[in-house]
Structure 1
Amino acid sequence: MNHSKQTFVTAFALFSLFFGAGNLILPPFLGYNGGESWLWVTLGFSVSAVVIPILAIYGYARLQGTMLDFAKKVSPWFAILYAVLVYAISVSLPSPRTASVTYEMAIQPYFEISSLWTSSLYFALVLLFVLNRTKIISLIGKFLTPLIILILLAIIGIGIFSDIEPIRASIFDNSFTSGILEGYQTFDAIGGVVVGGVIVISLALQGTYNYEEKKSMIAKSGLWAGIGLFCIYGGLIALGAFKSGTLQVENRTELLTLLSTTTLGSIGTAFLGVLVALACFTTAVGIVTGTSDFVKGIAGNSQFAYRITAVLGCLLGVAVGQFDVHYIIDIAVPALMFIYPITIVLILLNALPERFASPVVFKGVTLVTLLFSIPDFLQFVISETAVTQIKSWIPLAEHSLGWVLPALAIFLIINFFHKTSKVSIKS
């Protein structure tokens, strides 16, 4: 396959691996609640659900390694701990959530079948794809993603270009930061460090491209996937906002179902079912494959370890997938508040030139980010009142972004002293 064709196939695969359950059900409800401020929530959502994940892909294009390479500048033990935590969260929450969303939106309305049977069949198919991982990019990029995009464009296009109803006012105190935090729930930053490794390994297994060729293809495919994600997210958010004055809904899945029905009529629910199943399935494949790759790597490149991890990841998906979608979203919040800021700073540091991201910078910024993320984590584990006084002293903490300014300050201070010391030595 020539480079241009491989780049676009990889871009389609990346889009599909990112675009899962949360990416489908979160944006319309965000636009619905954002109302007149839908542009601001789109920008905020795009920061955490598009820009950061695509920077992760760019980082992988440079490193062409595993998640351990992403965090190794902090320390080897931290890299292992971070990777284990990320993969554990991924197979325990976003992966099972894809099965739960598929059941609630694509199976339950049409068939009298239990969620256990649905999840079992669903993850059996996931396992089949994972065990045939050399074909993942081709199967997803060539066949599944184009169908997903066509259905999405039909729903968005018809909805946006129909009569726009009165748009209600935003319910958010700060629409931009609300968009950023809602983007956490897509798991896309975590997805970036998981599926980025899948893409690197999948291309390496083909054995036909050198380092520079793979770097170029991964970076370009990440850019195209990011543009696609931004357009789809913006369209879904706008669609939710444009219908916010007339529709009365209580949850995310209900809104998405209504939007598909009002845009595509009775056939819209059938299309939505296909869309949900495809979008969720490809994400689950990416997560289980990435986790299996990681365990295989630390187990001495053992194919047996890869297979066992794939099976266990799918069994866990069946078990957790029995829970309600909204329950899974709620229990994910504390984990996201803890791991997401660390993931974001690691992605940003890996995307920067080496001269600005020395091991000392990695250590300092990561440590400060970890410390200032603890109040946000405790807010959901203990209670908000217990950490109110602490958060009152931290800038942006009221928006659950208290780690941002301290991390930026440490980054600038360390680089300043590093540059100053170099000048002193030269003089």
Structure 2
Amino acid sequence: MLARTDLRGGNATTAQLRRALPRGATDVDTVLEQVRPVIDAIRERGAVAALEFGQKFDGVSPDTVRVPAERIEQALADVAPDVRAALTESIDRARRVHADQRRTDVTTEVSPGGTVTERWIPVSRVGLYVPGGNAVYPSSVVMNVVPAQEAGVDTLVVSSPPQAQFGGLPHPTILAACALLGVSEVWAVGGAQAVALLTYGGTDTDGADLEPVDLITGPGNIYVTAAKRLCRSVVGIDSEAGPTEIAILADDSANPVNVAADMISQAEHDVMAASVLVTDSEALAGAVDREIDIQVQRTKHSERVREALGGTQSGIILVDNVDQGLQVVNAYAAEHLEIQTRNASAVAARVHSAGAIFVGDYSPVSLGDYCAGSNHVLPTSGSARHSSGLSVQTFLKGVHVIDYDEAALKEVSGHVQTLAKAEDLPAHGEAVRVRFAGGGAE
């Protein structure tokens, strides 16, 4: 089922690896012109336009954008006890991890009387997008809301697509997760129209204000990503998320049953999902292929999984050894990277490009999706080379506060004037000189 790329016996450069490795062909540019009219309509007509697009794309239009508070509470009352318990545990673990990410202000005394303080200020209002589509994602509510709350964000709104089978409301499990987290503002809007409405705000059909946000986070399909790109000059975004992906670096000590199960679990998300195995064991590669054939037959979403695993974005990469495998996975920079080798912790310590690293046989990606305590909103499409996953830091702004007294400024004034002259910006230097001229500018 899985295509193979044999890199053994070679010495490929990073550039060559990036060209050779499997990668999805999603091109956001191809849908920008489809999304642009949606953005324009909602900027001009607000909630009315958003609900019209909901009718067009989701087949349903709720009476109001904002979900009534009693429906959120009712969803929590109706949720199955085991689901509530699992969500509660997920929230607790995520909160413990993210609480430790809180930043503290730091003051540096540069000279006597001259200090620079870095203050960490929460974003005032954020919009957290939770997708619908092939699956229900209450876990994404947890992953978006918890770090925002731990950062101290003043207000937040969760937006999720309306569901025809639930009377135009988001899925009740999503609403239940919001209730558990104390989120009282939920919008029944999905897709590009959700991004646009979060960006520009407006007036709901009942006359209530829909306040715009300062930052939008959360994954979505290609249309959501395109909307983020078009709106990012007005609002902040976390990232342009591509299709989900897993890479597994494994040697002959790995269990092929577990490797196959992990690759299938990622392929279950979407036909464009990527599952990549990097191994120095041809025997393991063959065993994983055989095991995938067996397990796919009994998985619920077998057609979706087969298409994802058979796509150009998925495959098996054969390498000479684990060292070459590390070169490959660092070039690939996977959203999720599993290390299933001997001395897995030591191997994982040598990884420098991955959204999240899952170490050993008992740390599968699905643990991170739900209950590890880590965040599952992660960089995709190779952007883990330069970007991080969602965290408390995403919702904080580092602001420098400069506080110099007269003596401290005088001490460095000559250097400021010299550098201003060197840059041919004399007014910069003059702004310092006049403070000590004793009578104003000469």
Please, what TM-score do these two structures have when normalized by structure 1? 0.24
Larger radius of gyration: 2
Report which of the two has the higher share of helix: 1
Where relative contact order (Cα < 8 A, 6+ residues apart) is larger, the structure is 1
Report which of the two has the higher share of strand: 2
Please, what TM-score do these two structures have when normalized by structure 2? 0.23
